[in-house]
Amino acid sequence: MRTCPACPAPSGCARPPSPPTRLEPAVTDVAEPKIKTYTPLYDEYNYTIDDVEGELPEDLRGTLYRNGPGKMEAGGTPLGHLFDGDGMLSMFTMADGKTHFRNRFIQTKHYQKSIVSDAAPFRALGTMRAGGVLANALRFPANVANTAVVMHAGKLLALWEGGRPTELDPDTLRTKGEHDFDGELKWLGAFSAHPKWDWDTGELFNFGMAMAPVPRLICYRVDRAGKMRRLAHVNLPGPMFNHDVGLTKKHMVFVVPPLVFPLPKFFGAAFGLRNYMDALEYDASRGTMIALVPRDGGKPRILHTDPQLHLHMCNAYEDGDDTVVELLNYHATWEQLNGQLSAIDSLADTGTMPYGGIPTRMRIGRGGRISVEEFSGLNGEFPAINVKRMATRNRYTYLSAGLDGSVVPNALAKIDADTGKETLLRMPDGHLPHEAVFAARPDAQSEDDGWLLMPVLDAVNNIANLTIVDARDIEAGPVYTGRLSHHLPLTFHGCYTPRVARPPR
Ligand SMILES: [Fe+2]
């Protein structure tokens, strides 16, 4: 059943949703296919998928949530950066051999205003409000809740790294409102999109970036009941950007790339002269800063190494006296990477930069010696592991990979750290895999005993499916493909929970 995204009325509401008047329709030019990756999905759906190939595994019972920008315009005016799109949650509920799909926009202030305004209603990271400098000066980017989604202590939270999480009903996806952990998230309440779990303790660790009174990373520890406490902070040498964090049994581990806001540009952005994303620069002369924050609090240990450029970490763990961090390091300039991240229409139009970074292992010795080695030659993004291995050494890493220099993801990859073996599942031409999420089989016998769940976008024909692969043998191909009746713009991050959602039918 479709419902109008502009109001809670059921389908048939006279009011049309925000029209995509300035955005192109899906491309169907077969002779010269043009890949569309972020075509808005205005409609909200709620139905059981019945166009299926293969079988949903009997013992796969749970829910996959995905988050990403569902629309990239406000009042028909394109937004300026992929990071600014309005968050839309997708929910795939798998049980009893069937998958149910539901999607809903997150009712942020930005979304609610964007569907009744003529242009961007607020500043965003890469978008300026109409009205010039005065309309933008001293305005913070709007929270669009579009980056990740996690389930912790019974709460479903949509994450956006510049502000508070937004809580949603895990069955209906109804927006409940911003969540501040009983007031522990102060002021802007930044809470990054990449929390990490310790499976043994049930705790969640995360951080938030703060720019005032001094630039710093504020570290949080949330117990299994959802009670948060502030752990420590890491002062930064200036305004910077950091997207991810690692967790070991002893530390939160930051590997902060030299992505800096030079002060003139930072104040220029703050006073409305330029957007925030354009104020960011890669300054290799600063190198990469590493911070090891004890999990029980205490003074962080700070080290420095050669400059790296990454967004995402695969995992972190202790190996004897060493701390090991695995991440995806880019062999590209920040301008190239930001160009790809700015692509609100099609990643394929962003030049020749191959998709993704190179799996790279950083080893930090007790004495401070740091070594860096690549552990695969693949290009990939959106690393995934069995979450039960988080903070301990994992054997298997899964990636959305770009093979043969592709500028878009075109394969699922599995890297075996014990043997160095890489196995691949190539997607059909024009099919782009979203991030894969690992779902463990009940009573799993090995680290890879489970499934990889990933929406796949057929970006030529603009239609999508849920693809499920047995993680033990990805080369065997999907065990299940459930075709949606519509497309799904590429999402950023998602999560799986064995809790079976109960969407209203
Ligand atoms: Fe991310």
Distance 484 CA to ligand 1 centre (A): 25
Residue type, 19: P
List the Cα angle 440/455/6 in 5-degree steps: 120
- H or E element that contains 291: strand 288-294
| Residue 278 located in a structural domain | yes
Q: Which residue has the tokens 């069955």?
A: 171
Distance 504 CA to ligand 1 centre (A): 30
Point out which residues pair with 94 in neighbouring strands: 62, 99
| Residue 107 located in a structural domain | yes
User: At 51, is the secondary structure helix, strand, or coil?
Assistant: strand
Contacts of 462 (CB under 8 A, 6+ apart): 26, 27, 28, 36, 39, 487
Distance 55 CA to ligand 1 centre (A): 31
Distance 435 CA to ligand 1 centre (A): 10
CA 261/CA 23 separation, integer angstroms: 32
Distance 147 CA to ligand 1 centre (A): 7
CA 263/CA 156 separation, integer angstroms: 37
Q: Residues comprising the binding site?
A: 194, 243, 312, 493
Distance 167 CA to ligand 1 centre (A): 19
Q: Output the pLDDT for position 27.
A: 35
Distance 485 CA to ligand 1 centre (A): 28
- H or E element that contains 229: strand 228-235
Distance 160 CA to ligand 1 centre (A): 10
Joined together, the tokens standing for residue 176 give 């409940």
Distance 355 CA to ligand 1 centre (A): 15
Distance 148 CA to ligand 1 centre (A): 7
Point out which residues pair with 65 in neighbouring strands: 91, 495
Distance 243 CA to ligand 1 centre (A): 7
CA distances from 392 to 266, 279, 310 (A): 38, 37, 21
CA 363/CA 373 separation, integer angstroms: 8
| Residue 411 located in a structural domain | yes
> Would you write out the chain's pLDDT as a tens digit for each of its 505 residues?
333 333 333 333 333 343 333 333 333 333 344 677 888 999 999 999 999 999 999 999 999 999 999 998 888 888 888 889 999 999 999 999 999 999 999 999 999 999 998 888 888 888 888 888 888 888 888 999 999 999 999 999 999 999 999 999 999 999 999 999 999 998 788 999 999 999 999 999 999 999 888 999 999 999 999 999 999 999 999 999 999 999 999 999 999 999 999 988 888 888 888 888 888 999 999 999 999 999 998 899 999 999 999 999 999 999 999 999 999 999 988 888 887 777 666 655 556 688 999 999 999 999 999 999 999 999 999 999 999 999 999 999 999 999 998 988 999 999 999 999 999 999 999 999 999 999 999 999 999 999 999 999 998 888 999 999 999 999 999 999 999 999 999 999 999 999 999 987 7
| Residue 451 located in a structural domain | yes
The pairs formed by 222-229 with CB atoms below 8 angstroms and a separation of 24 or more are: 222/152, 222/153, 222/181, 222/195, 224/153, 225/153, 226/152, 226/153, 226/154, 226/155, 226/181, 227/181, 227/182, 228/181, 228/182, 228/184, 228/185, 229/184
Joined together, the tokens standing for residue 243 give 């997207």
Q: Residues comprising the binding site for Fe cation?
A: 194, 243, 312, 493
Distance 132 CA to ligand 1 centre (A): 31
Point out which residues pair with 160 in neighbouring strands: 191
Tabulate helix, strand, coil % of the chain (nearest 5): 10, 40, 50
User: At 249, is the secondary structure helix, strand, or coil?
Assistant: coil
CA 297/CA 221 separation, integer angstroms: 9
Q: Output the pLDDT for position 81.
A: 84
Distance 498 CA to ligand 1 centre (A): 23
CA 231/CA 190 separation, integer angstroms: 15
Q: Output the pLDDT for position 3.
A: 38
Q: Which residue has the tokens 């409102």?
A: 177
CA 229/CA 219 separation, integer angstroms: 9
Range of the domain at 258: 46-497
| Residue 448 located in a structural domain | yes
Q: Output the pLDDT for position 400.
A: 97
CA 501/CA 34 separation, integer angstroms: 36
Joined together, the tokens standing for residue 242 give 């950091």
Distance 340 CA to ligand 1 centre (A): 14
Rounded to a whole number, what is the largest CA-CA distance in the chain?
68
Distance 376 CA to ligand 1 centre (A): 20
Q: Output the pLDDT for position 228.
A: 97
| Residue 228 located in a structural domain | yes
Distance 492 CA to ligand 1 centre (A): 7
CA 193/CA 159 separation, integer angstroms: 5
Distance 501 CA to ligand 1 centre (A): 25
Q: Output the pLDDT for position 266.
A: 85
Distance 244 CA to ligand 1 centre (A): 7
Q: Is the peptide bond before 213 cis (omega within 30 degrees of 0)?
A: yes
Distance 367 CA to ligand 1 centre (A): 31
| Residue 40 located in a structural domain | no
Distance 77 CA to ligand 1 centre (A): 25
Q: Output the pLDDT for position 295.
A: 96
Distance 381 CA to ligand 1 centre (A): 9
Distance 313 CA to ligand 1 centre (A): 9
Contacts of 473 (CB under 8 A, 6+ apart): none
Q: For the chain, what's the residue count?
A: 505
Joined together, the tokens standing for residue 234 give 């890491």
- Number of domains, the chain: 1
274 CA to centre of own chain:
25
Domain CATH for 206? 2.130.10.10
Distance 246 CA to ligand 1 centre (A): 13
| Residue 3 located in a structural domain | no
Q: Output the pLDDT for position 1.
A: 38
Distance 357 CA to ligand 1 centre (A): 13
Distance 19 CA to ligand 1 centre (A): 29
CA 13/CA 27 separation, integer angstroms: 28
Exposure string over 311-321, b if 16+ CB within 10 A, otherwise e:
bbbbbbbeeee
Residue type, 98: K
